[in-house]
Each structure stands twice: as C-alpha cells, then as structure tokens.
Amino acid sequence: MPSSATSSPVPTTPLPSGEPVPVLGLGTWGMGENLRPAAQEVAALRLGLDLGMTLIDTAEMYADGGAEEIVGEAIAGRRDEVFLVDKVLPSHATRAGTIAACEASLKRLATDRIDLYLLHWRGRVPFAATLEGFAALQAAGKIRRWGVSNLDTDDMKELVALTGGDAVATNQVLYNPTRRGIEFDLLPWCAARRLPVMAYSPIEQGRILKNRTLLAIAQRHAATPAQVALAFSLRRDGTIAIPRAGHLAHVRENRGALAVRLDADDLAAIDRAFAPPHRKVPLEML
C-alpha cells in the first residue's frame, strides 16, 4: 500500500473565487446513525484533519442532523482548520426555509458559519427563491459561498442564467469508475467554467472493491482497490473526492490514494471494464 505521505500537503483545487480547497476530503453520509460508536466517528474525522483532509462534507439530511452533530464535536477547537460543506434539503429551499435550515445546521455544528452551502438536489422550489436565501445568509455572514448538488447540465445552465446564479461554487455529484455518465457533458461543461465537481460515493459504497480490474491495478501499484477508485476520480483537474470513512484505518487508506498515479494502461483497463459514456446519460443519484 502506498505511503499516506503525510509529510506532503494534500493537493488543492481552486473554487471559481480562487480560494483553494483540498481535493480529498471527508464525507459523513451514514454517520450519526449508531452504526458504530460516535466517538469512533469523531476520532476518524479528527484523524482526517490531522492528515490534511480538511474539507468535511455533511448535510442536514444525514441521520436527521446526527451527522452534523458528529462533525460539530470533531471540529470543536479546530474550526479555523476546516473547510465545512453542508447541504439544505430541497423541501426547505424557499428563501425563509433555507435561512431556517442553515441556522438549525449551524446550531448542530456548533459553529457560526458554513464555508460552502449546497442545495442537496433540485426540488419543486424555484432556484430563484433558494438563491434569495443564500444571498441573505451570505449577507449575514452565516455562509461564505454556495453551490449545488445532483444537478445535471440543463439544470446548471438554467441556474447560471439567473441573476446571481453564476456565483455557484461547485456541483456535487455521484462519480466513480462505475458511474461515469457525467463525463459526456456535465464534467466538460463544469471544466469550461472552472467550476470544480465534488465526487460523492467515489468507491460506490464499497461495492466495487472486489472488481477484478481494480484488484489487478491495485496489485501493480501496491495499493488497494479503494485507492485505485479514488485515484480514478482524482485524475482530473478540478475534481474533489469526499469518501466516507468511519474507521481510522479507512481514513489512512483514503489518504494513501494521493500516492497512486494511474497510467494509460490502467485507464484503458478501467475503460474496458467500465465503458465511458458515448451519449448523454441521465444524471444518477444514490
């Protein structure tokens, strides 16, 4: 397994504002649900911070706020080290609802600000109303920037055409070797606008870790299949991966993915195993 190379900083990619953020962060989906001791989840997040993975992603939906409480405990006393990403449910995404949801999240997180606040997916509320809520939160200093999640290309075009919509800072979407549909149009569209993409479930919740192709590539690199899957997502400039890791060993394993460099033969093998899209594919979600 490659060394986690903790002496080297985690690479960064810029937001449209120019602000650098780590390309490898910490996801929290599934935390706060009593699947493992809360203290273990807190310790895993703190280890990630120690290893330079200072972007933490969470959402009000995760465990009905329980994941935010885990994050709040993990970042206590270390808030200034963290780039904190949170998400508002589409059912809350009216102007007033967005503000109220953010304030509730801030309370659970025990912080006064969220660095990047995302619309979790598109619902029935018009984008314009959500943007009004984001603008009010920014004016109050409760969020620094805003973005979206699970928006396809046409949704993004509609969003940026609105007044203030071009301030979107990221789009967080499902992306891993088995979920490549965004490579056809969404990734190129975001890249042309220097809009970073956050890849969630970059190891497909572990379902691809026994794949023979990934196992063979991992063996060649003295790595693990999870590290190969992460390296696949991170091979593109402007992509951020946010794998969940509730165990200390998994945090170290994820950090080690930064030492894996996939070559042309590796990528060709992945293409044979998981064909890239040759036409428009509807956006997938988990």
Phi-psi region of 133 (alpha: psi -120 to 50; beta: other; left: phi over 0): alpha
Residue 264 tokens read as 């042309």
d(CA 241, CA 177): 13
195: closest CA among 160, 230, 158? 160
Kindly tell me the number of DSSP H helices and DSSP E strands found in the chain.
10, 10
Residue 62 annotated as catalytic: yes
Alpha-carbon radius of gyration of the chain: 18
d(CA 214, CA 224): 8
CB of 175 closer than 8 Å to CB of 242:
no
Among the listed residues 62, 117, 175, 200, the single catalytic one is: 62
- Looking at the annotation, which residues are catalytic? 62
